[in-house]
Structures are given as structure tokens and as C-alpha cells.
Amino acid sequence: MDGWAGARRLGLALGVWTLTASVALGHGALRRAEPPIESTLKRAPEEVKLYFSERLEAAYCAVRVENRQGARVDRGDGHVDRSNPLLLRATLPPLPPGTYTVIWRVLSVDSHVTEGRFPFHVE
């Protein structure tokens, strides 16, 4: 009896762990950013590139870059890359030295919305 009860508990625990892991891994998480999160750059980047763990729904994704005063400084052309549905990108004009914040919001194909922000600094 104890053997069956232990096996059932183990099976239930493994089932819960598998379900939890698949839900946690199913969201479109930010995997890599260019410029890197909280980086200090000697030269201003020409573009922001955000790489995600899941394919993105292009119509529901946005990225913007703001200066320290909260004014938008990107060119307003943020989009999911046509050749790589994991990549959200936006171009930048020449940026003067200062601190900038990248703000993003995406909808991945699993229907989960994720959003975030991070700074980078140009010397």
C-alpha cells in the first residue's frame, strides 16, 4: 500500500512540475538585447534589437527608446523582423551622450503578453 501511495505522490509531483515548467517556459521572454541591458557604450547604437524565446505576433508588439526626460528618441519604426520572428527591432538617430531607456511590450504566439524596460548609457 505504501509503495502505491508513494508512486502516486511521485507521479503527481512530476505531473505538477511538468505543467509548471511548460507554462513558465511558454512565455515570450527576453533572451538578449543589443545594446545589452544596463550597458555603457562608447558609441551610440544605430539600432535596438531584442531577441525573445518565442515567436512574436507582429501586430501586437512595440518597442520605444526614451531619453532621461521621457521623450521618445527612436525613429518610430519598431517592428518584428520579417526573417526572424523572435527579433523585435527599432532604429535610432545619432544619440548624444546620456542615459536611455528601452521599453517593450510583446505578444508571443502562445498568447501571453510580456513587457519590460531597461536602461543603457552612451558616454
| DSSP per position, 55-86 | -B-GGG-EEEEEETTS-B-S-S--EE-SS-TT
Residue 57, domain member (yes or no): yes
Domain containing residue 83: 28-122
Residue of 108, 86, 81 lying closest to 27 (CA atoms): 108
Mean pLDDT over 109-120 rounds to 94
Residue 19, domain member (yes or no): no
pTM of the model: 0.78
The amino acid present at 112, given as its one-letter code, is: H
- Per-residue pLDDT reduced to its tens digit, 63-113: 999 999 999 999 999 999 999 999 999 999 999 999 999 999 999 988 899
* For residue 50, pLDDT beyond 50: yes
Domain harbouring 52, CATH code: 2.60.40.1220
Q: Identify the band that residue 12 occupies on the pLDDT scale cut at 50, 70 and 90.
A: very low
Please tell me the total count of domains within the chain.
Answer: 1
What CA–CA distance (Å, rounded) separates 23 from 87? 21
Task: Count the helix, strand and coil residues of the chain and give each as a percent rounded to the nearest 5.
Answer: 20, 40, 40
State the cell numbers at 27: 512565455
Residue 42, domain member (yes or no): yes
